Amino acid sequence: MKTTRRSFLTAGAAAGALGFPMIAKAQSPITWKMTSAYPKGSPFYMDGPGSATDLAKRIEAMSGGRLKIQVYGAGELIPALEGFDAVRAGTVEMNHANSYFWTGKTFAAQYFTAVPFGLNFQGINGWFYDGGGIQLWNEVYAPFGMVAMPCGNTGVQMTGWFKKEINSVADFKGLKMRIPGLAGKVYATLGVDVKLLPGGEIFPALERGVIDAAEFVGPYQDRRLGLQKAAKYYYTTGWHEPATVSELLINKAAWQKLPKDLQAVVENAAAACNVISEGWCQKTNAEAMEDLVKNHGVIARPLPDDVIKALREQTAKVLAEAVAKDPIVKKVNDSYMAYKAKFDAWSKFSETPYHTKIQA
C-alpha cells in the first residue's frame, strides 16, 4: 500500500487526538540544589565513593540526564548546620548531612543516625530496609514537610581524641568535648561540657585548648583534619556510634512532583551510596589507623570497662526520659529496640561466634 505524505500526517493527527502521540516531546532536565553540612572537598561526605558529589553523579547518570543535582558544600549556599531549615522552606530541594544535627527540631531524628550501644552497619540497614525504619523516619519528618533516606554510612566510629588519659568516669567531669547527638547527652550526665562544632572547626578548637577532647569520624578523616597533632590519646569501642548514617533530606512538595521513575532513581542511587561509602571507609580506616600508631605516636586503646558500664547505664536513662516525654520518640524507640533484640539474638549464632572463635 502506498502511503502519501498527506495520509501519514492525517494519521498522525488522528493518533494525537486519541491520546497516542507519535513522537514524545523532549523535556528539559529537572535541576535541584543539594547542600551539605560538610565543606567542599571533604572525603566521604563531599568527595569520593558514596559521597554527596558521587550521589549527584549517579542520579544524573541513572536518570539519563533528566535529573541534575547541583551540590554545595557547607558555607557555599547556606551555613553548615542550616540544611534542615533550608529544605523545609524549599530554599533547596535536598540536604546531605546526619539527622542527629536536628535534635533541636525533634529528638526522634537521632535514631536515624546512630544510637549508643545500638545497631551496627548490618543491623541498621536491616531496620531501615526491612524493619520499617525508613517509614518511621518519614513519619517523624512529616510535620516538617520533608522525607528522608539513608545515603551513606561510616561503619563503626572511634570514641575520639583526648589530650589526657581516661582512667575512670571521674576524668570526664569538667571535660570540654566536641560530640554531637545522643552521645553528647550521655556524656553531659557524667559532667562533660558538650560542644557542637562543624568538622572544620574541630582542629583549631582542640589545638588551642578551647576543647579538651573531640570525636569526628574515624582514622582516615580524623587524620586528614590533623587531630593527631592536637591530641595523642585515641580511644575506641564505638559505643556512641556503632554505625553512623548519612541522611538525604528532601523537600516533600518537590519530591511529590518528581515522576515516579525519578523517585526510584534517587532511592536506588542513595541505597548504592549507602553500601559503597561504608566499603570505602573499611579500607581507608585500616590504612590510616596503622599509619597513626606507627608514624604519628598515637596511643590507641579501648575505654576502661567501668567507663563503658557507666556510659551504658546513662544511655538507658537518657533514652527512657526521652521516650516518656514524646509519643513519636516512643514509637521509634520501640521499633528500633524490638528489631535490635531480634538482630542481637541472631548475631549470637552468626557474627559473634565468628569474631570470638574463628578470628581468635
Beta-bridged to residue 43, according to DSSP, are: 47
d(CA 177, CA 211) in angstroms, rounded, equals 6
Q: In the sheet where 146-153 sits, what is the strand order?
A: 67-72, 30-36, 94-97, 245-251, 146-153
Overall average pLDDT of the 7-19 stretch: 44
Is 50 exceeded by the pLDDT of residue 12? Answer: no
Is 90 exceeded by the pLDDT of residue 358? Answer: no
Could you give the percent of the chain with pLDDT greater than 90? 85
357 pLDDT tier (thresholds 50, 70, 90): confident
Break the chain into its structural domains and give their ranges: 30-152+245-283, 160-242+292-347
Q: Are 176 and 210 in contact (CB under 8 A)?
A: yes
Domains 30-152+245-283 and 160-242+292-347 share a fold: yes
Residue 355: per-residue pLDDT: 81
Residue 24: per-residue pLDDT: 39
Mean pLDDT over each residue of the chain, to the nearest integer: 92
14 pLDDT tier (thresholds 50, 70, 90): very low
Angle at alpha carbon of residue 155, lines to 153 and 158, rounded to 5°:
125
CA distances (Å), origin 116, targets 168, 243, 313, 356: 19, 10, 11, 22
d(CA 81, CA 73) in angstroms, rounded, equals 11
What are the tens digits of pLDDT across the range 127-159? 999 999 999 999 999 999 999 999 999 999 999
d(CA 209, CA 307) in angstroms, rounded, equals 24
Beta-bridged to residue 32, according to DSSP, are: 69
Is 60 exceeded by the pLDDT of residue 22? Answer: no
Secondary-structure breakdown of the chain: helix, strand, coil percentages, each rounded to the nearest 5 = 50, 15, 35
CA distances (Å), origin 217, targets 76, 149, 166, 214, 290: 23, 20, 19, 10, 16
What are the tens digits of pLDDT across the range 160-199? 999 999 999 999 999 999 998 889 999 999 999 999 888 8
Return the SS3 of 113.
coil
The CATH architecture of the domain made up of 160-242+292-347 is 3-Layer(aba) Sandwich (3.40)
Is 90 exceeded by the pLDDT of residue 13? Answer: no
Residue 245: per-residue pLDDT: 98
Residue 199: per-residue pLDDT: 81
pTM equals 0.88
360 pLDDT tier (thresholds 50, 70, 90): low
3 pLDDT tier (thresholds 50, 70, 90): very low
| Alpha-helical segments (H) within the chain | 5-17, 52-62, 83-89, 121-130, 133-141, 181-189, 202-208, 219-225, 252-257, 260-295, 305-325, 327-347, 351-353
Q: At how many degrees (to 10) do helices 121-130 and 260-295 cross?
A: 170
Residue 196: per-residue pLDDT: 85
Let me know if domain 30-152+245-283 sits in CATH 3.40.190.170. yes
